[in-house]
Amino acid sequence: MVFELASAQRRLGADVEIWTPDAIRAGSTEVFAGLPIRYFYPDPLFGLARSHRLSRELATLPSDAVLHAHNTFNPLNVQVGRAAAARGLKVFYHPHGALDPALFADWTFKSLKKRLYIRFFTRPKLNRATGVFALTALEQAQLASLGISSPIHVVPNGIRPVAPASRDAGLALRARQGVGPTDRVVLFIGRITVKKRIEDIIQAVARSDAHLFIAGNSEAEPDYAALLKGEANAAGCAVRLHWLGFMDEAAKSVAYAAADIFVHASESEGMALAILEAMSAGLPVVATRGCYMAQAAAAGALVECAPGADALAQAMAPLLADAARAQAQGEAGRAYVGRVHDWTAIARRTLEIYAGQGGPA
């Protein structure tokens, strides 16, 4: 998102650069489609979380510069906040859903550590900010519940329009997986990690005759991948579960062409680009409430349901049974994404907010 937002702002005439620590590219500047990306040496003791040289460069910025940081649980944000305070610069933060209270509600050490970090570092920093960006009205409410008093602006993620590959390419992918042209295919693309609740999707698919394509790196969390395979065996749908592995942009476009519907069941998701991409590709989408797509659901752009296999199965069934209904749902999603998640419109909105012309919404 950082690159796409900065690129769109640059296309609108803003003088925008991306600055980041990077041990390999440190000291260099790369330009992609007119957008400079400057790499700074990270501090030896803090790795990519801190860079003295980046802080030193921040101190030279003109008084009308605007800082926009995207690293929630990262000391780099502390550096940005200090530089803004020292120079009187405008500074904005983008948590990207990372401050959802559901993510640190339990009493594990990891959750306790996050709550302490939020109390002593994140909340004070955000309350000194010029503004904070939320992806949804729900995230705006979550930030307010954590005691964030700075103006909170609701600005969604953007998406580049996604064109699925040809139907023939989709059928070829099906054939490689042993799936026929008339079989129904449910697609999941994303990280193979516990919070995605892929087991709920497997159990929901087991109640139909559909196949499930899972695209993502299953080796990232091998224990969870093993659990999912066990769930499929127990549910009796293992032969209809297909692991596609990690897919680049070209491969994903083929997966969209091969699928009939797209499903996400995450416990907590700021605003998943995978969902927006699937909608942009014209696939009908079923998403649980944890995916925070209530606005799209209210507009009829996707089907939202409660968490759990039962609710997912009920939401998926009409789309799997009625191709015309599925096509209409997919077209509604494509149109919605084009209206609401266009990068140019989002970039223009953020630039207005930087200039103090856009109040919280």
Give residue 25's identity as a one-letter amino acid code: R
Give the pLDDT confidence score for residue 142 in this predicted structure: 93
pLDDT reported for residue 42: 87
- What is the band of 353 on the pLDDT scale with cuts at 50, 70, 90? very high
pLDDT at 47 (0 to 100): 59
Percent of the chain with pLDDT over 90: 79
341 — pLDDT class (breaks 50, 70, 90): very high
pLDDT of residue 276: 95
Per-residue pLDDT tens over the stretch 114-167 = 899 899 989 999 999 999 999 989 899 999 999 999 999 999 999 988 888 999
Asked whether the predicted pLDDT for residue 359 surpasses 80, the reply is: no
Q: Does the pLDDT of residue 73 top 70, yes or no?
A: yes
pLDDT of residue 201: 98
Confidence bin at 79 (pLDDT 50/70/90): confident
- The answer to whether 6 and 35 have CB atoms below 8 angstroms apart is yes
User: pLDDT higher for 9 or 22?
Assistant: 9
Is it the case that residue 76 has pLDDT exceeding 70?
yes
The band of 23, judged by pLDDT with boundaries at 50, 70 and 90, is confident
Q: Is the pLDDT of residue 361 over 80?
A: no
* Mean pLDDT on 227-238: 97
Band (pLDDT 50/70/90 cuts) for residue 328 is very high
Band of the pLDDT at 110, cuts 50, 70, 90?
Answer: confident
Residues of the chain with CATH 3.40.50.2000: 2-158+342-354, 167-340
Q: What is the mean pLDDT of residues 49-60?
A: 86
β partners of residue 262: 187, 285
Instruction: Output the 3-class SS for the chain.
Output: CHHHHHHHHHHCCCCCCEEEECCCCCCCEEEECCEEEEEECCCCCCHHHCCHHHHHHHCCCCCCCEEEECCCCCHHHHHHHHHHHHHCCEEEECCCCCCCHHHHCCCCHHHHHHHHHHHHHHHHHHHCCCEEEECCHHHHHHHHHCCCCCCEEECCCCCCCCCCCCHHHHHHHHHHCCCCCCCCEEEEECCCCHHHCHHHHHHHHHCCCCEEEEECCCCCCHHHHHHHHHHHHHHCCHHHEEEEECCCHHHHHHHHHHCCEEEECCCCCCCCHHHHHHHHCCCCEEEEHHHCCHHHHHCCCCEEECCCHHHHHHHHHHHHHCHHHHHHHHHHHHHHHHHHCCHHHHHHHHHHHHCCCCCCC
Domain covering 167-340 in this structure, CATH number = 3.40.50.2000
Higher pLDDT, 252 or 23: 252
Please provide the CATH number assigned to the domain covering 2-158+342-354.
3.40.50.2000
Q: What is the pLDDT of residue 74?
A: 80
- Report the chain's mean pLDDT, rounded to a whole number: 93
| More confident: 43 or 317 | 317
Selection from 63-77, 78-92, 301-315 with the highest mean pLDDT:
301-315
- Arithmetic mean of pLDDT, 9-17: 96
**What's the average model confidence in pLDDT over 215-234?**
95
